[in-house]
Amino acid sequence: MTIHLSIILFLPLATGLLGAFLPRGLARWAVLAGTVAVLAYTVALLADFDGGGGLQYVTDDEWIPELGIRYQLGIDGLNLFMVALTAIAWVPCTLVAAFRQHDRPKLFFFNLALAETAVLGAFLAQDLALFIVFFDLMLVPFYFMIGGWGTGDRVRATTKFMIYTLAGSLLMLAAAVALGVLSTPDGGEISFSLADLQQRSVSEGTQQWMVLLFALAFFVKAPLFPLHGWVPETYRSSPIVTIALLSGVLSKVGVYGFLRIVLPVMPEGAQHWQELFIIVAVFSILYGSILAFSQDNLRLVLAYSSIAQLGFIVLGIFALEDKGAQGAVFQMLNHGLVVVPLFLIVGVIAERARGSESLSELGGMAFRAPVLAALFLIITFATLAMPGSGNFVGELLVLFGTFEDKLVYGLVASVGVVLAAVYMIRVFQGTMHNRPGPDVEPGEIDGLHLAAIAPLVAVIVALGVYPHFVVHRTEKATTAAIQEARGIGQEVANR
């Protein structure tokens, strides 16, 4: 079966454009159909994918030959499930937006569709310049969605969001250009193709500062402490589906960049900063968990919990050990799968509490909404990485990988596991249990949200029962991604 990645990539954008010219009632169906078609195509991809093979379904065309930039797409174990996550996450979010977004809906749908194309592009790109193009393209629709449809102090939120992410990606751009230029051999052609960059080399000293610039961009996006200054306002002001996608999917692009670009292309530089990045990750785990525990606003609890979860992922990657990296890749998928429905549930709760999203005003909803409570409960357990969930397997592998060489960091990170139990159960109880809060008018989950959330819960449960489905397919590429940096680390240790 031939699978053309360009179809997956541009289908959302095409339907978004199409929707712009359709009447309002039809536009939503067009955009929705686009996301569903991408999902269907991705399922075919998952079925067809060869776990033992390398990069597959490659598309490789010239784009800007003068600058050595190619239109290069491909799928391997690293991005297979990131593409799947994108496809899975966009369907329920588009569904909810399609029936809940009444203000300038067509424009919103277009932004949503453009965002999907951009994110898919960032995941699929096999050329560094192409990656950066899509990486920055992601900002545009999100900027408009937050600024145009957000609530509260959205101007301040978008400003901060833009400053942080723009600063990050411009630093990355500078580093990328430098990388392309410095790695060009004498008399050779400049190239940004990742495969070429991996073959060529730049000196260790140069790699070190380049890695740092890339890391700044990726840490801002993740986000990790202390580069999360944009998080509180953005999370508070964004439309709920936007923030669900931002937190669930966009945050993965950064950490994915480490595995796709930083570690294979600049292994010495990555290895050089290993200790620092691990410390940042561990600190983010603890700091995010403790802050999540002391927030009152539901979105902020999830915001800080994401900082902690992303800390786990970065920890797994920079443990530079096969199990840890495997766990990180799996956890990237798992975290996205739980965060998206969590935010959608926040939306459901707010609809039943006169817009309130603060724990101190909520409570006691389970009695009139047992189905909502049951779905929420399963997602809560998965989020806190309860054994039996895919998240547990991911975290277990991350911890096992970290223990291998960095036992103490791993043990400190384990404290985060306990803290996660505290803040997630606190959220569940604070909304579903105890006495009803002053603003709560409890009601059962509506059909729209049920249709959006229940399939995600089914996927979460399925991954808990058979995690090997993912792990088996990601193993080869993940091991290859960290191989070189890992080897350098071992050499250093032996010396």
Partner 1 sequence: MSGTSYGWLVLAFPLVGTLAIAFGWLGGLRGRTAGWIASGAIFGAFLSAIGALIQLQDQPEESRSLVDSAWTYVATGDVKVDLAILVDPLSVFMCLVVSGVSFLIHVYSVAYMGGDRGYTRFFAYLNFFVFSMLLLVLASNFVLLIVGWAFVGAASYLLISFWYRRETATRAGIKAFVINVIGDVGLVVAAFLLLDQTGALDYAGVFAQADHVFGHNDGTLVAACLLILVGAFAKSAQLPLHTWLPDAMEGPTPVSALIHAATMVTAGVYLIARTHPLFELAPAAADVGAIIGTATLVFAATVAVAVTDLKRTIAYSTISQIGYMVLGVSVFAYGAGMFHLMTHAFFKALLFMGAGSVISAMGGIQDMDRMGGFRKAMPFTFAAFTAGALALAAFPFTSGFFSKDEILAFTLERGGWYVVLAIAGYAGAALTAFYAFRMVFRVFYGNPVEEARELEQGHIAHHPPSNPATGEPEDTDVGFPAEEHHIAEREWPMRAAMGPLAVLALLAGVVQVPGVSDVIEKFLEPTFADSHFHDTAPSDSSEWVGLLLGGLISVAGIAAAYHAYVRRRGITLQLRDRFPRVHAFLVNKWYFDELFEALFVRPVATAGGFGRAVIETRFVQGFIVGGATGVVRVGSSLARAVQTGYLRAYALLLLLGVALLILYFLLASS
Interacting residue with partner 1 among 18, 167, 459, 461 (CB under 8 A) = 167
CB count in 10 Å sphere of residue 126: 24
Widest Cα–Cα separation across the chain? 74
Q: Taking CB under 8 A as the rule, does residue 483 contact partner 1?
A: no
| CB burial of residue 71 (10 Å; 0-12, 13-18, 19+) | middle
Q: Measured between alpha carbons, how far is 264 from 315 in angstroms, rounded to an integer? A: 17
Q: Measured between alpha carbons, how far is 123 from 152 in angstroms, rounded to an integer? A: 32
Interacting residue with partner 1 among 43, 64, 181, 458 (CB under 8 A) = 181
User: Could you tell me the CA-to-CA distances from 216 to 154, 160, 167, 197, 494 in Å, in that order?
Assistant: 24, 16, 9, 20, 30
Q: Which of residues 319-358 bind partner 1 (CB under 8 A)?
A: 322-323, 326
Query: Considering the complex, what minimum distance in angstroms separates the CB of residue 274 from partner 1?
Result: 19
Query: Considering the complex, what minimum distance in angstroms separates the CB of residue 9 from partner 1?
Result: 26
**Residues β-bridged to residue 73:** 59, 125
Query: Considering the complex, what minimum distance in angstroms separates the CB of residue 85 from partner 1?
Result: 19
CB count in 10 Å sphere of residue 158: 23
Interacting residue with partner 1 among 129, 338, 432, 440 (CB under 8 A) = 432
Instruction: Spell out the residues 6+ positions from residue 258 whose beta carbon is closer than 8 angstroms to its own.
Output: 214, 215, 218, 270, 314, 317, 318
Q: Measured between alpha carbons, how far is 293 from 381 in angstroms, rounded to an integer? A: 16
Nearer Cβ to partner 1, position 27 or 175? 175
Residue type, 367: F
Nearer Cβ to partner 1, position 55 or 377? 377
Query: Considering the complex, what minimum distance in angstroms separates the CB of residue 299 from partner 1?
Result: 15
Nearer Cβ to partner 1, position 40 or 407? 407
Q: Measured between alpha carbons, how far is 6 from 16 in angstroms, rounded to an integer? A: 16
Q: Which stretch binds partner 1 (CB under 8 A): 3-11, 97-105, 106-114, 360-368?
A: 360-368
Question: Which residue matches tokens 């010396």?
Answer: 495
For partner 1, what does the binding mask look like between residues 270 and 299, x meaning CB under 8 A? -----------------x--xx-xxx----
For partner 1, what does the binding mask look like between residues 144 and 163, x meaning CB under 8 A? ---------------xx-xx
* E strand or H helix that includes residue 62: strand 56-64
Residue type, 433: H
Q: Which stretch binds partner 1 (CB under 8 A): 58-66, 84-92, 165-173, 272-280?
A: 165-173
Nearer Cβ to partner 1, position 254 or 363? 363
| CB burial of residue 269 (10 Å; 0-12, 13-18, 19+) | buried
Interacting residue with partner 1 among 18, 200, 433, 446 (CB under 8 A) = 433
Q: Which stretch binds partner 1 (CB under 8 A): 127-135, 254-262, 338-346, 388-396?
A: 388-396
Q: Measured between alpha carbons, how far is 293 from 282 in angstroms, rounded to an integer? A: 17
Structure tokens at 17: 């454009």
Structure tokens at 495: 């010396």
Q: Measured between alpha carbons, how far is 405 from 342 in angstroms, rounded to an integer? A: 34
Q: Taking CB under 8 A as the rule, does residue 182 contact partner 1?
A: yes
Residue type, 67: L
Q: Taking CB under 8 A as the rule, does residue 170 contact partner 1?
A: yes
DSSP letters of 157-183? HHHHHHHHHHHHHHHHHHHHHHHHHHH
Query: Considering the complex, what minimum distance in angstroms separates the CB of residue 174 from partner 1?
Result: 5
Interacting residue with partner 1 among 52, 102, 435, 493 (CB under 8 A) = 435
Number of residues that bind partner 1 (CB under 8 A): 71
Q: Which stretch binds partner 1 (CB under 8 A): 237-245, 264-272, 338-346, 460-468?
A: 460-468
Query: Considering the complex, what minimum distance in angstroms separates the CB of residue 179 from partner 1?
Result: 9
Q: Which stretch binds partner 1 (CB under 8 A): 75-83, 234-242, 366-374, 443-451?
A: 366-374
Nearer Cβ to partner 1, position 232 or 269? 232
The SS3 assignment for 385 reads coil
Query: Considering the complex, what minimum distance in angstroms separates the CB of residue 69 from partner 1?
Result: 13
Are 414 and 399 spatial neighbours (Cβ–Cβ below 8 Å)? yes
Q: Measured between alpha carbons, how far is 202 from 24 in angstroms, rounded to an integer? A: 53
Interacting residue with partner 1 among 397, 477, 482, 485 (CB under 8 A) = 397
Q: Taking CB under 8 A as the rule, does residue 55 contact partner 1?
A: no
User: What separation, in Å, do the N-terminal and C-terminal C-alpha atoms of the chain show?
Assistant: 49
Interacting residue with partner 1 among 53, 355, 387, 487 (CB under 8 A) = 387
Interacting residue with partner 1 among 59, 184, 297, 483 (CB under 8 A) = 184
Query: Considering the complex, what minimum distance in angstroms separates the CB of residue 467 from partner 1?
Result: 5
| Residue in 59, 57, 9, 58 with CA at minimum distance from that of residue 34 | 9
Q: Which of residues 198-237 bind partner 1 (CB under 8 A)?
A: 225-230, 232
Interacting residue with partner 1 among 59, 297, 361, 364 (CB under 8 A) = 364
Query: Considering the complex, what minimum distance in angstroms separates the CB of residue 122 from partner 1?
Result: 19
CB count in 10 Å sphere of residue 64: 12
Q: Taking CB under 8 A as the rule, does residue 419 contact partner 1?
A: yes
Query: Considering the complex, what minimum distance in angstroms separates the CB of residue 150 from partner 1?
Result: 15
Q: Which stretch binds partner 1 (CB under 8 A): 55-63, 191-199, 258-266, 395-403?
A: 395-403
Q: Measured between alpha carbons, how far is 367 from 374 in angstroms, rounded to an integer? A: 11
